[in-house]
Structure 1
Amino acid sequence: MSAEKQLLITGGAGFIGSHLAQACLERGHRVRILDNFATGLKKNLEGMEVDLVEGDIRDEALLAKIMKDVDGVFHLAALPSVPRSVKDPFASHDNNITGVLRVLIAARDAGAKMVFAGSSSAYGDTEVLPKREDMPVSPLSPYAVTKVAGEHYLKAFARVYGMPTAIVRYFNVFGPRQRNDSPYSGVIAKFCRAALEGEVCKIEGDGLQSRDFTYVADAARGTLLAMEKEVPGGEVINLAGGNRISLLDLVNSLSKFCGSQVRVEHGPDRPGDVKHSQADVSKALALLGFKTEFSFDEGLEKTLEWYRKEHPAPC
């Protein structure tokens, strides 16, 4: 896909979506954003020249209207979070499965390529590491089920209609603009807030659980590459650094950047969570030429500095 394309980002006012919008603009693309602001924020788009449409991804008429001149669609809009899906599985289903199907049909009818934001939660708690795209999926939570269903819809549309589609599986993306004011916030966002405010970091479990944390600028760049590069229809591609960081390692790194030891409190394991996660990143390199540019510590330092500016505190 060459420059000067009209791209639509659903959920583009959100954490990852706003960084993706920025990456698209820097590459010379025109950007339209559809967001209902359930979790996204208009301030995430400050300074960006985008066509912003407020609305719902399940609105069939609205989708048909805003898709008319679109060359490619990034579908990031979703109700995120494992705990949220455990609390209200139907809401996750309605937003994440009905939503993706509505967007997919509209993109098909517009002749647009679609890139879907999948999740490493699709792999479940397999003991085999690193996690490869050809492994069987084994979702443990309602949220993970919705993400796997979305993937299967994109694969089916590629097979049945010959529609160009691609799926990127994110692995614990973190960075600036990630909300830390919600019970469903990501662990790094929560821990940064706790560290800056001198509060206790609450770890669910022993803290040895590990994740392949991915800095948001890298995730956005990889997602854009999945749109720009020619890949087989319905291809699933891990976007991550291929490393594992435990929550205790995270706390130690935060302590280093704060200049004092961050306090920790342990609680019971969280239902639906996986113990360890690490991506095999060989396909991303082979198909997209993608590898991460930011180390975990580099990304964490940038993230903590952003939270410091947004929420000045003693740390």
Structure 2
Amino acid sequence: MRVVVTGGAGFIGANLVRTLLAHPGISQVAVVDDLSAGDRTNLAGVAATLHEGSILDAALLDEAFAGAHAVVHLAALPPASRSAADPLAGHHVNATGTLEVLEAARRVGGVHVVAASSASVHGTERELPERETARAAPRTPHAAAKLAAEAYLGAYHHCYGLGVLPLRFFNVFGPLQPAGPGYPAVVPAFLAAAMAGRPLTVHGDGRQTRDFTYVGTVAQVITEAVVRRVVHPDPVNLGFGSRTSLLELAGELESVLGHRLEVTHTAPRPGDVRDSRADGSRLRELFPTVVPVPLREGLERTSEWFSTL
């Protein structure tokens, strides 16, 4: 089986590429990435073919998709703040880019497309746990583009018979995730501060909750989806219903690192989601044997990687 991963040099993509190549049913993995958010070093020592360029380049996609059995579409313009600053650029990559991927898959024929969406499509007013059937109410251009991408995936399934699986990611964390200005993910931000001996910065009171998902679990689900050709035209939450506050996260990291961590509080971020928790019922129906990596174990693996930087 030959699999193509768009955005495969990014944090999630590079972890996924390693998991795909470790599966005996997958013989080749190709990556399409313009390296605007990903990094070539994330694929160091990995036996994947890199096609450097944009998903908006139809000729490049045709070259990369030739002979493919499945495409995992992760390429996007992250983080959400970049789409807010330049909504047209965000739309071109996140919505039109998905359309280009679907058209390229249709030209090849018979290709299974697994694509990443985001829990952000629900907006800020969320009924917990968040169900895929709840009304979407995106509050940012990034979320709106992701919702458009979901709609295109469903439309291509119903109109052209393309096998698709849209997955809504919930707070994915793990090795290779960048930390620093412009990257709002809390786990790498906390770890970077802890490793440097700085206080952990918490926006607001720290009681806001998230459904953290270790990247290895995400890679496991996607690999199984590719191998078993799991098809579902409607969005599927890739989250397991956990609920951890930021203060609880800081406490877990204290335990993992074995020393006290100072926490400082700043003003809440405008528009920040107070609570996020996936309804994992649909995911468990489609992937009944998947067991998520526990938060503690995921933090241990991630901190081990951070310690090597």
TM-score, L = length of structure 1 = 0.93
Task: After TM superposition, list the pairs within 5 Å mapping 1:1-315 onto structure 2.
Answer: 5-28=1-24, 29=26, 30-111=28-109, 112-310=111-309
Please give the secondary structure, in 1, of the residue aligned with 2:308: helix
| AA aligned opposite 2:5 | I
Distance 2:117 2:223 in 1: 14
Q: Residues 212-240 of structure 1, C-alpha deviation per residue, up to 9 Å, x if partnerless?
A: 00000001111222223344441321112
Q: In the superposition, relative to structure 1, how do residues 270 and 84 fare at CA in structure 2: closer, same or farther (>3 Å)?
A: farther
Provide the aligned C-alpha RMSD in A: 1.5
Deviations, residues 187-228 of structure 1 (Å, cap 9, x unaligned): 111110001101122222211111100000001111222223
Summarize the Cα distance change of 1:142–1:290 in structure 2 as closer, same or farther, 3 Å threshold.
farther
Identity over aligned residues, as a percent?
Answer: 40
Give the superposition deviation at 1:288.
2.1
Across the two proteins, how many residue pairs are aligned to each other? 306
Deviations 1:263-287 (A, max 9, x none): 2222222233211111111211111
In the TM superposition, structure 1's runs of 4+ consecutive aligned residues that sit over 6 Å from their partners are none
Gaps of 5+ in 1: 311-315
- Any idea what SS the aligned residue of 1:250 has? helix
In 1, the alpha carbon distance for the partners of 2:297 and 2:116 equals 24
Q: Partner letter of residue 192 of structure 1?
A: L
Q: Please report the TM-score for the alignment, with normalisation by the length of structure 2.
A: 0.94
Q: After the TM superposition, which of the residue ranges 269-278 and 14-23 deviates more from structure 2?
A: 269-278
Structure 2 residue runs without a partner (length 5+): none
Secondary structure of 1:44's counterpart equals helix
SS for the counterpart of 1:167 is strand
Secondary structure of the residue that 2:235 maps to in structure 1? strand
Amino acid in structure 2 at the alignment position of 1:26: A
CA distance in 1 between counterparts of 2:293 and 2:34 reads 31
Once the two structures are superposed, residues 37-56 of structure 1 have per-residue CA deviations (whole angstroms, 9 ceiling, x without a partner) of 11111221122211111111
Q: Is the 8 A contact 1:57 1:77 kept in 2?
A: yes
Between stretches 219-228 and 81-90, larger displacement belongs to 81-90
Deviates most, 243-252 or 41-50: 41-50
Report the 3-state secondary structure (helix = DSSP H, G, I; strand = E; otherwise coil) of the residue aligned with 1:128.
coil
Matched residues in 1 for 2:98 and 2:271: separation? 23
Q: CA deviation at 1:98?
A: 1.5
